[in-house]
Structure 1
Amino acid sequence: MLQKTRALRRASAAASARSAAHRPMTLLGLASATLVGITLSVGLASAPAVGAINPAVAVTAPALAGAEPLAQITEDAAATLAKAKDAATAASTLGSEVVASGLDVGAVTSVDTTDLQKDIDKLDDIDVTPVLLVGVLADEVEEETANVVSDTDELRSALTAAQQKQAEEEAARVAAEQAAAQAAAEQQAAAALAAANTPEGAKAAAQQIMSSTYGWGGDQFSCLNSLWNKESRWNYQAYNPSGATGIPQALPGSKMSSAGSDWQTNAATQVAWGLGYISSVYGTPCSAWSHSQAMNWY
């Protein structure tokens, strides 16, 4: 009877220790408790009937005391397995993104999931895995999952940094191209303005405006040419001490601002104003030229 009591105490103490131990220890404790229960059952079967303990109680109570239910063990393992598969998939997907990006992310361009995949395959076959090993495998998978997640996070950060660098470089390239295009456009505009500001350029502008705006032909341009040759020789920078300015010798020159704010630097603006003035005051360039010949001014 003393031997039986000590055995029961040892089983009870083992069960208490197992309740605070790590999962693998719980499983080992479960197996040990079961063996103890079976031993007690055999001993009880051969012991005298007087004062004997119920064999069913001797087997089940110590064996299950503090032990984690098998259903819970498999449920936890299944959850661990799902997280592991998600981590492996995320790592593989990220590796494909890195390859597709073609960016320099450093020496490490992929996450090694070899060990994790091996453990996943083992744990995935949980139906044929001994119950005693399920918890151990789950712990290994959980540890490998943590490693893969950490490596994936690091690679993701490297890819993000490379993408940001690429975006900054692309923005700088686009800005440089835009600046170059703007400079080229300004150069072209300056060249066009320089050409238009020559006497020949100013005459070409006058002929175009006379035809499109007033319907005047070559005879009127001939009169205009004589008039403005006399006034300024078609020089947009001409200036008379009286204050008369530009090709049409506007007095004061600021009158030409009604044709454009660039009247001081653009011969075409001066021409446009001068033709408008002639049309409103004299009707035609030939009438203005006749007045100039008679009065020496127009």
Structure 2
Amino acid sequence: MSPISVRGFAVASATAVTAVGSVVGVASGSTAQNNDAEATAADSTLLADIPAGQQAQVQTASLTQQADAQAIAADASAKKIAEESARKAAAKTAQEKKDAAEKAAQAARDKAKALADAKAKAAKDPSDFPVFSSYSVSQIQSMAAQVVPSGQFQCFSNIVDHESSWNYKAVNASSGAYGLFQALPASKYSSVGSDWRTNPATQIKWGLNYMNDRYGSPCEAWTFWQANHWY
């Protein structure tokens, strides 16, 4: 018999007892309080008589309900955590993509600016510079900075330092190499201008063209120079 059936039987029995007690009480003159006390006692006694095995089933069912409730709560908590983690991951990915796009855009702008700068400088002609009877090292370096791309200037300067120390009239006594770049024969400068002996701007233009045509850039020319001590 199940706990519900046992309890129902107990309640029914207690009701019957109460009914009989009431009849007897009327006949004998006893009060209803005595009848209620007897019914309660009968109910308690019958519930206490549930077999131990059935009591264990009741306890097991209760524990199962508790475990189910805890599992549901755990699932809800895990789902909430997962949703929050997914939201944070999506936000991080979006920010990383945005940063990458901004970085790429900035790199493109810098490249475009560098190309524009290089084209503007490459378009400069020796005739764009004023002509003097003589030039200081700082004047020659300033002229070169206006012709050579900024990212290539240091390499360009390194070569000139080693070849002539920025002396546009330097002559190699043994070979006849001449000028800022020690061109040999010296007449090579004439491909840019006939004033190559006295105008450092003409030599600078020739030297930049030579490095670009033969090595690709002044920095590539400087790399070759470091390995071979000539270019």
TM-score after normalising by structure 2: 0.42
